[in-house]
Structure 1
Amino acid sequence: MTYRTHFNSYINFCNAINCAPLLVSSKNVCRYAAFLARSCAVSTVRQYLNIIRILHMEFGLGNPLTSWELKTILGGIRRHKGDQGNQKLPLLPEHLYKLHGTFNLSNLLDLQQWAACLCAFFGLLRVSNVTVKSQSEPGHSLCRKDFSVMGKGGILRIAKSKTNQYGHPPHTVVLPYIAGSALCPITTLLKFLGAQLAAPDTPLFSYTDEKGNLSVLTQSLFRRRLIQALKDIGLSSATYNTHSLRRGGATWLMSVGTPLAMVKAMGDWKSDAVYEYIKPSTAMKLDVVTSAVQKL
């Protein structure tokens, strides 16, 4: 969906200024960047510009985003608007324990939401991995056949995602089994799946409602219910949202000593964007310094 949004934005701009989208001049790339900057932060401008690079690569053409002019324009946008953005804080295990108390797990809707939250956290999943855009547009939703239990945990096989538009090779997500814990994603997901029998191709986070209709977890429903649960435990949607689960999982893994390269692989990051997700806390920094001092 992000690809389509960026693509349509760029094509509409090209049509508006009557220029070809391929073999685009540095001048027109800069014009597009300035156009985007009217309403976007510099980080978002870079994301939208990236579609130009992708299109040119698909046709075997050079990358038009390497010009000195564009670098200067982006620098100016950054100085004028700043690039701090509105990054949400990570949700950590201590938050998850509190969130658990807001759900009635005998209710299928609550169980669906909680299972998706735990999978998103421990699997470092994007919201688009565990939800669909709408009930009528399932897209590349995970299906029941994409989940399996093995060894000390479970496996989710994600065929297509934001960084894998064509489905090759699939991204494998490992979920831990945490015996006796309210935060165990395997126990929670199995409980949800076991509540109703369904075909292997059925969306993973779905169930049949009282009217016999298939109810799939949508992005809007997932977001709305999480925001309400956050509010119930005293956290504001101004500082936490659905993306806080993925960011929280990455931050937690780093806090327990997981190498950054492993976190990047587990979260399916293809670029250095992972650095934007992981902000070491003061306690984490202090642990590192204390450990280093002991080796003096």
Structure 2
Amino acid sequence: PRQRLVWGCLLIGYFFLLRRSEFLKIGKSYHFYCLKRRNAFFSDDEGRRTSYKLATSVTVGLEGAKNDQFGRGSWRTMSASGNKTLCPIQGLRHVLQARKLLRQEVNPHLCAGLTVQSVVQVIKSTARRIGVPAAKYSSHSIRIGGATALASAGASKIAIKFIGRWLSDCFEEYPRHAASSSKGLSRLMIR
């Protein structure tokens, strides 16, 4: 169940271009805006809450961010990718099932106590296993990887900036809206 939690949280972080502080525990604490369970749900084409079986997307709401000191928050929706393994819908499903198996259903944070350190260990271990330099990968690789995948697949700069909640164009250094504006982006990310 723990590996399932890690995998699901990695998928959510990747597809929503989350900063580590937006979905993981840092040290012994969470930032106030760390993604809460109540703010992540399966959704339909209009971004409305629905069941897993009827879901065409996942919607997440952040109560703030590093670049949102006033805590205005933001909501983003990502549609199904069309891939059974790499998909935001499957990511949320993995997280929810793992939370249940780990008896973490009452944990208010979506990723149920998963720390940056434990995620970095998984990332670096995977890098070593496939023969790439582990030192080049960190928790930020999740966000960078998602932005790079979108840019490489031809997603517009505005769409990338919107999903990643960037206020500047700094994301352009990495690779080289509403629910309807993100439709199809998750499909681009797995090509």
Q: TM-score, normalised by structure 2?
A: 0.76
SS at 1:174's partner residue?
Answer: strand
CA contact (8 A) 1:119 1:175 kept: no
Match for residue 269 of structure 1?
A: 166
Deviation for aligned residue 1:125: 1.0
Task: Give 2:23's match in structure 1, choosing from 130, 137, 149.
Answer: 130
Task: Give 2:111's match in structure 1, choosing from 191, 205, 223.
Answer: 205
Deviation for aligned residue 1:179: 4.4
Higher relative CO (Cα under 8 Å, sequence separation at least 6) belongs to 2
| Separation (CA, whole Å) in 2 of partners of 1:256 and 1:180 | 15
Match for residue 260 of structure 1?
A: 157
Task: Give 2:38's match in structure 1, choosing from 145, 149, 152.
Answer: 145
Match for residue 118 of structure 1?
A: 11
| Percent of matched pairs sharing the same residue | 27
Tell me the amino acid that sits aligned with residue 193 of structure 1: L
Whose radius of gyration is greater, 1 or 2? 1
| Separation (CA, whole Å) in 2 of partners of 1:189 and 1:256 | 23
| Separation (CA, whole Å) in 1 of partners of 2:83 and 2:157 | 29
Give per-residue Cα distances to partners, 1:142-179, cap 9 Å, x unaligned.
Answer: 111010111221011011211112211x1223233234
- The count of aligned residue pairs is 160
Tell me the amino acid that sits aligned with residue 202 of structure 1: P
Q: CA 1:179 to 1:274, structure 2 compared with 1: closer, same or farther past 3 Å?
A: closer
Gaps of 5+ in 2: 45-55, 177-191
Give per-residue Cα distances to partners, 1:29-49, cap 9 Å, x unaligned.
Answer: xxxxxxxxxxxxxxxxxxxxx
Give per-residue Cα distances to partners, 1:168-191, cap 9 Å, x unaligned.
Answer: 1x1223233234521123223213
Is 1:160 aligned with 2:57? Answer: no
Gaps of 5+ in 1: 1-107, 207-215, 280-296
Task: Give 2:96's match in structure 1, choosing from 165, 185, 193.
Answer: 193
Q: Which has the higher helix share?
A: 1
CA contact (8 A) 2:11 2:88 kept: yes
Deviation for aligned residue 1:260: 0.8
Aligned-residue Cα RMSD (Å) equals 1.8
Tell me the amino acid that sits aligned with residue 120 of structure 1: G
